[in-house]
Structure 1
Amino acid sequence: MRILDDFTNCENGVRLDGKVAIVTGATSGTGLETAKNLAKRGAKVIIASRSPAKLSDARKNIIKSSGNGNVVARTMDFESLKSVRNFAQEMYLSEPRLDILINNIGAIALEDRLTSDNLHLMMQVNYFGAFLLTFLLYPLMKSSAPSRIVNVSSMALLLGHIDFEHMNDVGKSTFEYYANAKLAEILFTVEMHNRIEGNGVNIYSMDPGLGKSEFFRNSNVTFWKTVLNTGLLIVGRPLDRVATMPVFLAVDPRFFSNNKVLTKRLWEESKRLVRITPEEDWERF
Structure 2
Amino acid sequence: MTVSDACKLLCFSSCALVCLSTSGRNVLIMTCDTTAKLNGKVVVVTGGSSGMGFEAAKNLASRGARVIIASRNETKLKAAQDQIIEATGNQNVAYKTVDLGSLKSVRNLASELNSEDQINVLINNAGAVALPDKLTADDLNLTMQVNYFGAFLLTFLLLPKLKASAPSRIVNGIGGAMYFGEINFDHWNDIGRYNIITALGTSKLAVDLFNAELDTRLKNTGVTVNGYDPFVVRDTSILANIPGIVQHVSKFFINIIGRRKEDVGREIAYLASAPEMESVSGNLYKFCYPFKNHWLVNDRELTRRLWEESKKAVKIDKNEDWEVNDV
Which TM-score band applies after superposition, normalised by the shorter structure? Answer: over 0.9
1:238 deviates by 1.4
- What displacement does 1:237 show? 1.6
CA contact (8 A) 2:31 2:263 kept: no
Task: Indicate yes or no: 2:268 matched with 1:268.
Answer: no
- Runs of 4+ deviating beyond 6 Å: none
The Cα of 1:236 is off from its aligned counterpart by 1.3
The equivalences for 1:123-272 within 5 A come to: 123-171=144-192, 172-214=194-236, 215-219=238-242, 221-255=243-277, 257-272=297-312
Give CA deviations for 1:110-146 in whole Å, capped at 9, x if unaligned. Answer: 1110000000000000000000000000100111000
How far apart, in 2, do the equivalents of 1:237 and 1:155 lie? 14
Structure 1: where are the runs of 5+ without partners?
A: 1-5
Show the 5 A alignment for 1:81-100: 81-93=103-115, 95-100=116-121
Contact 1:189 1:205 in 2 (8 A): yes
Query: Where does the alignment leave 5 or more consecutive residues of structure 2 unmatched?
Result: 1-26, 278-292
Q: Partner of 2:85 in structure 1?
A: 63
Deviation at 1:177, TM superposition (A): 1.0
Q: Give the TM-score, by structure 1 length.
A: 0.95
> Alpha-carbon deviations, 1:62-95, whole Å to 9, x = none?
11111111110110100100000001111122x1
Partner SS, residue 190 of structure 1: helix
- Identity fraction in percent: 47
Determine if the alignment matches structure 1 residue 77 to structure 2 residue 99.
yes
The amino acid across from 1:273 in the alignment is A
CA contact (8 A) 1:217 1:229 kept: no
What CA RMSD, in Å, does the superposition of the two structures yield over aligned residues?
A: 1.3
TM-score (norm: length of structure 2)? 0.83
Shift, 1:229, TM fit: 2.1
Shift of residue 9, structure 1, vs aligned partner: 4.2
One-letter code of the match for 1:52? E
How far is 1:233 from its partner? Answer: 2.5
2:61 pairs, out of 30, 35, 39, with 39
In 2, Cα distance between equivalents of 1:58 and 1:234: 27
The answer on whether the counterparts of 1:46 and 1:74 sit within 8 Å (CA) in structure 2 is yes
Aligned to 1:101: 122
CA distance in 2, matches of 1:36, 1:270: 32
Bigger Rg over Cα: 2
